[in-house]
Structure 1
């Protein structure tokens, strides 16, 4: 698998570049359920994800950040003025000679249990993406073993089912599955919000290690400002579907300019001595 074949390799070419992303959902009413109006969930959003960097998109629930990231892989329909992967235009879910987005971009979801098939063993879950691409089962199984070791899942996990693992281990399995096709970009949608604090830290360290070791570019969605502060290179702040602030993580999180960003940071719990 050479998902980056014919794609620009220079580090100055962004992993993802989006201009004018808009997502609208129909509002239906009446007996026949006719479309009465449209609700704009993401409104004319533009951003750049540099290669090898972690860009966090933050905002409270309902601001459109999850809808945005799902639109990048076609899970929701969006209107794009311009969408490029490593400089190659994306048209109808494909780019650079008919390659699919999923050959280069993979997504890790918030709930690791619901995103894993409870009736499949780990080996079935992990090998399926490669077998579907014509890779032999033995080769796919070998890669699965290596990735399980990479994400610190114990030996003997291949024949187990998802319910036999803890929440943190299931999220590691989801990360391993996303890496099976050797993507260059990971879209992480609230991947730590369903986990205990101690497990959150482990997953964050894993993502940062993978970014450094594999050269991944990561789009990280979160409403947890402390998590964002620990992980991000750059931050984009969303409010009611619009981008209200963006920039270097240290600058935005220490010296926010927009009132909404200031309120988000003020809402972070702190321990104060009485």
Structure 2
């Protein structure tokens, strides 16, 4: 295939490098920063440069924030050739899948919503690596109007690139799960570091501290938009977390050791069951 990747940040750059490293497809890049494209050409991450409006690609992969992506697609669709597969890698799916499926179908473009579950603390093209997606999960969010052949082409490419598990979810369930597994973790991490003890934390910390603080270095522009675009789901899980934390706080205030033991055991049992299920999934995969 001839593939165009739009947005050469961490995800887009890594997709280009992965495609070049693991497949025989041709891949071009598109980015607003000319220096990034020049570097990608020097790295051999892309074969050339292009635009969605060129209308010469078998597949276009959007690696942009959903607000920008939807606007770009609206402008480019009249110039894209029928049959082109349009893929996005955005972190939210509800609004985007509904909007782009309808718009693309009118122009004969085949849209498939995806979300690669991979990332790094660093962002931008210069942080991109060819093995970012190795054994990572890929979420796909097909709807009734999703073209089956296009979906199969996308998942086949993902397997070539080294993705581990292809997970199918409705767009709305995807957004609910992302609020819990990703966005809530970022809120907790950002809140956790706002303690005066951070000044001396390096001398007293181990793995648990590093795990809790790792994603606090998130980009505020991107993540604040993601939080607000998924506001209802994130508020639900944040309220639930606050309720659970309040249980621990109240038990501590009341010096209720029996209650604390119950709360800790409850959490341990839930996580042990989660680990057991994960082990079974790995054994059966």
Is the TM-score greater than 0.5? no
Structure having the larger proportion of residues in helix: 2
Q: Give me the TM-score of the superposition, normalised by structure 1.
A: 0.32
1 or 2 for the larger relative contact order (CA 8 Å, sep ≥6)? Answer: 1
Look at both structures and tell me which one has the larger radius of gyration over its CA atoms: 2
Q: Give me the TM-score of the superposition, normalised by structure 2.
A: 0.31
